[in-house]
Amino acid sequence: MRTPGQWLAIASTDLEISPERIGRIYAKRWAIEVFFKQTKQELGLASEVEVHSYAAVIAHTSIVYLRYMMLAYYRRQQTDDKTIPGLFHAFSEELKIMSMQLCLQIIRLELVELLSSRGHDQLCGQVVELFSSFYDRHPMLSGYSIELQCLTAKPES
């Protein structure tokens, strides 16, 4: 039995394939091997029914594979948070909104700093008001807090 930390040799007869590709092929093949082992040992693919006709073998194999798919689906629904319906899409949309909000925040801060450093405090306040009304008019940005204070500190000379 192999212990963690030991290396594992994987060989290929095709000398043109890169080691990375050999590893990917082996990983895919390993998943198939685990599938067959589970269907034989846990779902009785090889020992549950003794039949002699080709049609009966196909029917039995299909039923065992269907049971495997149902159990795998059930297990995934119970243990894998990524399968909560719509969760992935909700997080994707959240990241898009956060990215847009962050870009708008950076633009606002840069404008306020530039105007403040040039002594345009009144214009600085108008920029802050403009961004504030923009956030108020767009509901998808309303959940994010923005700092509405104008940078009034003058650069030191």
Q: Tell me if 151 sits within 8 A of 116, measured CB to CB.
A: yes
What span, in angstroms and rounded, lies between the C-alpha atoms of 138 and 104? 13
Quote the CA–CA distance of 10 and 55 in Å, as a whole number: 38
Domain range summary for the chain, segments of one domain joined by +: 19-83, 87-141
**What local confidence, expressed as pLDDT, does residue 153 receive?**
41
Reading the chain (157 residues) residue by residue, the pLDDT tens digits are 557 777 777 778 888 888 888 888 888 888 888 888 888 888 888 877 787 888 888 888 888 888 888 888 887 777 766 656 666 666 666 666 666 677 777 787 888 888 888 888 788 778 878 877 877 777 666 655 454 444 444 444 3
Q: What is the value of pTM for the model shown?
A: 0.40
